[in-house]
C-alpha cells in the first residue's frame, strides 16, 4: 500500500484535531482510500505543551522548514491562521510543489488570488473545505455537486459566535453585552471578539464562496460588512411580531453584470429555513437554477468538525496521488483562465426591504413628519406599529418598508434623526424574504 506523507504547520486546536483524527482513523482512512496517510511531522513554536495526541512516530519540530523542505512530504496542512507567517509558509510550500490544505479564511479572502496563481504555476492543489462552514461540504458542493447550475443566490449563517449571541438575545431577552460575556465564558467567543461579532469573519467566508459560486476573483474589500453589536432585545421582539428572526447573514447574489455581496444583521421570515438555525450552528441556503433551494447545516467550527473537513481535502488529494493525477478539480471551481473579476454592487445601489425603528417623544405630528421624509425619498411603507410602550418617556415607531433604495433610506434616516422629537439614532435592519418555490 502506498504511503502518503503529511506535515502539519501549527499545533493549536485545529492542528491537534487534525493530528488526532489522522491517528484515530488510521485504519478507516486506509480502508477507504487504499493508501497509508502517514503524519510524518508537525511544526509549532511550542513543542512542549501536551495536546493530548498520541504522536507515535510523528516528529514534533519547532522549525516549519523541516516540513516545507522535506522531499518526502506530499501534503502540507496549514493550521496556523492569520495572514503573515501562514502566507509565507503556504507560498514556500506551493513553490516546493507540495499540495496545501488550509482552513485559513482570512488569508484566502485577502490573498487567495495570489495563492491560487502560485499553486497553478507549480501544478499543485490548494484545498480549503474547512475555511467556510466547518464540516458542511460547502466548497465541494459548489465546486462539484452544483457543477451544472448557475448559482442565483446564497444566504448563510457562517459565524457560530454571532449566531449563539443572537439566539441568546432572542430566547432569553439578554442585552448584547451580557450575551457576549456568556458566549465568552462558554468558549464560543474570543476575549477579543471583533473578528467575529463585527462581521469580518463572515465576510472572509463570503468572499471565498462568491468566488466559487460565480467563477469570480476573490474580492473581500468591496463586501459591505456590519456586525451585531447594535442588535437589541427590543428589535428582536418587534421582529418576532412581524414574523421575522434576526440573523447575521452573508448574502451573495448574481445579477447581469455584478454581484451583491453583503454581511449584516438581517430579518428573515419563519419560512426561511435559516430562521431555525440556532445556537452556534451554521447553515447555508443555496438557490441554484436547476436544483432550486437547498441547504447545508452543521457545526461551523470546533476542533473535530474542522479536522473532519481538513481530512476530506487530504483524502481528495491522496486519491489524486494514487490515481496518478492532480488538480483534477480547479481550485476555485473554474479553471484559472475562466475566472473573471466581477464587480460588487456598491451598497448605496442596493434595493431591498427595511425594518426601521425610531424612538420619538410622544408629540402629535411626529409620525406625519417621518412619513413625509420617507415619502420624499420614494420609500413606501408596508406597515407601521406605533405602540404605547414608552421607554424613558419615548414611544417606539416601527416600520416595515416595501423595496427601497439603500441610498434613499440612508438619506431619509439622516433627515429623520434631525427631527426635534426624534430621540437617538434610528435603527435600520434589512429584510431578506425567502425565495418562494
Q: Catalytic residue positions?
A: 205
Decide if residue 2 touches its own copies (CB under 8 A).
no
Q: Near its own copies by CB under 8 A, which window of 148-156, 240-248, 250-258, 356-364?
A: 148-156
Neighbours of 263 (CB within 10 A): 29
Q: Which of 4, 33, 248, 419 forms a contact with its own copies (CB under 8 A)?
A: 33
Say if residue 40 carries a ligand binding annotation.
no
Neighbours of 31 (CB within 10 A): 9
> According to CB under 8 A, which residues from 290 to 329 bind its own copies?
290-299, 302, 304-305, 307-309, 311-312, 315-316, 319-320, 323-325, 328-329
Q: CA angle, corner 266, sides to 202 and 83, nearest 5?
A: 10
* 321: CB partners within 8 A, 6+ apart: 2, 4, 35, 74
Instruction: Give the three-state DSSP class for 1.
Output: coil
Cα–Cα distance measured from residue 329 to residue 347, given in angstroms and rounded to the nearest whole number = 33
Cβ-based nearer residue to its own copies, 141 or 266? 141
Cβ-based nearer residue to its own copies, 340 or 387? 340
Cβ-based nearer residue to its own copies, 265 or 302? 302
HEC profile for 79-114? CCCCCCHHHHHHHHHHHCCCEEEECCHHHHHHHHHH
Say if residue 15 carries a ligand binding annotation.
yes
Q: Near its own copies by CB under 8 A, which window of 7-15, 18-26, 51-59, 227-235?
A: 18-26
Say if residue 11 carries a ligand binding annotation.
yes
Measured CA distances, 152 to 165, 203, 206, 387 (Å): 29, 19, 14, 39
> How many residues lie near its own copies (CB under 8 A)?
60
Say if residue 10 carries a ligand binding annotation.
yes
Rounded to 5 degrees, φ, ψ at 385 are: -120, 120
Cβ-based nearer residue to its own copies, 307 or 345? 307
The least CB distance from residue 423 to its own copies, in Å, is 39
Neighbours of 341 (CB within 10 A): 10
> According to CB under 8 A, which residues from 204 to 233 bind its own copies?
215
* 139: CB partners within 8 A, 6+ apart: 127, 128, 129, 131, 132, 208, 212
Cβ-based nearer residue to its own copies, 85 or 315? 315
Decide if residue 141 touches its own copies (CB under 8 A).
yes
Decide if residue 32 touches its own copies (CB under 8 A).
yes
Q: Near its own copies by CB under 8 A, which window of 111-119, 146-154, 156-164, 343-351?
A: 146-154
Cβ-based nearer residue to its own copies, 34 or 365? 34
Decide if residue 338 touches its own copies (CB under 8 A).
yes
The least CB distance from residue 309 to its own copies, in Å, is 8
CB 32 within 8 A of CB 14: no
Query: Which sign does the torsion angle of CA 73, 64, 62, 22 carry?
Result: negative
CB 158 within 8 A of CB 295: no
Q: Which of 160, 330, 396, 426 forms a contact with its own copies (CB under 8 A)?
A: 330
Binding mask 261-280 for its own copies (x = CB under 8 A): ------------x--x----
Cβ-based nearer residue to its own copies, 305 or 396? 305
Q: Which of 4, 6, 9, 21 forms a contact with its own copies (CB under 8 A)?
A: 21
Nearest to 246 by CA among 437, 435, 404, 432: 432
The least CB distance from residue 289 to its own copies, in Å, is 8
Decide if residue 335 touches its own copies (CB under 8 A).
yes
Say if residue 300 carries a ligand binding annotation.
no
Residues β-bridged to residue 246: 267
Q: Which of 47, 123, 147, 186 forms a contact with its own copies (CB under 8 A)?
A: 147
Nearest to 214 by CA among 142, 145, 293: 142
Rounded to a whole number of angstroms, the distance between the first and last alpha carbons of the chain is: 50
Instruction: Give the three-state DSSP class for 326.
Output: coil
Cα–Cα distance measured from residue 434 to residue 285, given in angstroms and rounded to the nearest whole number = 10
Say if residue 14 carries a ligand binding annotation.
yes
Q: Which of 129, 226, 406, 432 forms a contact with its own copies (CB under 8 A)?
A: 129
Say if residue 13 carries a ligand binding annotation.
yes
Nearest to 138 by CA among 24, 263, 299: 299
Instruction: Give the three-state DSSP class for 45.
Output: coil
Q: Which of 12, 269, 334, 433 forms a contact with its own copies (CB under 8 A)?
A: 334
Residue numbers at the binding site for its own copies (CB under 8 A):
21-22, 25, 28-29, 31-34, 129, 134-137, 140-141, 144-150, 215, 273, 276, 288-299, 302, 304-305, 307-309, 311-312, 315-316, 319-320, 323-325, 328-330, 333-335, 338
Q: Which residues are annotated as a binding site for L-homoserine?
A: 190
Amino acid at each position: 500500500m502506498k504511503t502518503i506523507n503529511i506535515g502539519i504547520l501549527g499545533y493549536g486546536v485545529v492542528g491537534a484535531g487534525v493530528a488526532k483524527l489522522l491517528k484515530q482513523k488510521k485504519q478507516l482512512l486506509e480502508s477507504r482510500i487504499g493508501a497509508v496517510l502517514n503524519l510524518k511531522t508537525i511544526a509549532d513554536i511550542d513543542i512542549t505543551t501536551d495536546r493530548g495526541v498520541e504522536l507515535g512516530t510523528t516528529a514534533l519540530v519547532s522549525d516549519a522548514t523541516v516540513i516545507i523542505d522535506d522531499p518526502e512530504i506530499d501534503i502540507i496542512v496549514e493550521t496556523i491562521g492569520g495572514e503573515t507567517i501562514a502566507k509565507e509558509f503556504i507560498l514556500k510550500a506551493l513553490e516546493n510543489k507540495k499540495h496545501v490544505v488550509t482552513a485559513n479564511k482570512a488569508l484566502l479572502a485577502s490573498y487567495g488570488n495570489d495563492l491560487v496563481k502560485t499553486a497553478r504555476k507549480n501544478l499543485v492543489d490548494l484545498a480549503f473545505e474547512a475555511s467556510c462552514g466547518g464540516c458542511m461540504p460547502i466548497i465541494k458542493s459548489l465546486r462539484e455537486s452544483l457543477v451544472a447550475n448557475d448559482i442565483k443566490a446564497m444566504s448563510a449563517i457562517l459565524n457560530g459566535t454571532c449566531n449563539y449571541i443572537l439566539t441568546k438575545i432572542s430566547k432569553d431577552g439578554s442585552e448584547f453585552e451580557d450575551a457576549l460575556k456568556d458566549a465568552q465564558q462558554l468558549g464560543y467567543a474570543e476575549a477579543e471578539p471583533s473578528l467575529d461579532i463585527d462581521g469580518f469573519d463572515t465576510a472572509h467566508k463570503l468572499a471565498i464562496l462568491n468566488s466559487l459560486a460565480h467563477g469570480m476573483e476573490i474580492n473581500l474589500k468591496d463586501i459591505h460588512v456590519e456586525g451585531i453589536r447594535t442588535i437589541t432585545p427590543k428589535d428582536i421582539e418587534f421582529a418576532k411580531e412581524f414574523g421575522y428572526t434576526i440573523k447575521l447573514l452573508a448574502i451573495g447574489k448574481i445579477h447581469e453584470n455584478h454581484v451583491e455581496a453583503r454581511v449584516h444583521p438581517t430579518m428573515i421570515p419563519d419560512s426561511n429555513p435559516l430562521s431555525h438555525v440556532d445556537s452556534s450552528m451554521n447553515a447555508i441556503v443555496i438557490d441554484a437554477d436547476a436544483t432550486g433551494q437547498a441547504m447545508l447545516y452543521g457545526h461551523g467550527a470546533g476542533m473535530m468538525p474542522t479536522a473532519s473537513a481538513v481530512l476530506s481535502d487530504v483524502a481528495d488529494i491522496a486519491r489524486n496521488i494514487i490515481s496518478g493525477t492532480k488538480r483534477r478539480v480547479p481550485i476555485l471551481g473554474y479553471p484559472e483562465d475562466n475566472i473573471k473579476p466581477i464587480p460588487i454592487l456598491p451598497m448605496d445601489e442596493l434595493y431591498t426591504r427595511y425594518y426601521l425603528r425610531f424612538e420619538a417623544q410622544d408629540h402629535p405630528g411626529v409620525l406625519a413628519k417621518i412619513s413625509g421624509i420617507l415619502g420624499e425619498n420614494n420609500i413606501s411603507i408596508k406597515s407601521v406599529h406605533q405602540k404605547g410602550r414608552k421607554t424613558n418617556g419615548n414611544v417606539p415607531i416601527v416600520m416595515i418598508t416595501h423595496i427601497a433604495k439603500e441610498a434613499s433610506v440612508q438619506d431619509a434616516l439622516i433627515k429623520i434623526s434631525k427631527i426635534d422629537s426624534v430621540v437617538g439614532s434610528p435603527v435600520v435592519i434589512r429584510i431578506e424574504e425567502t425565495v418562494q418555490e
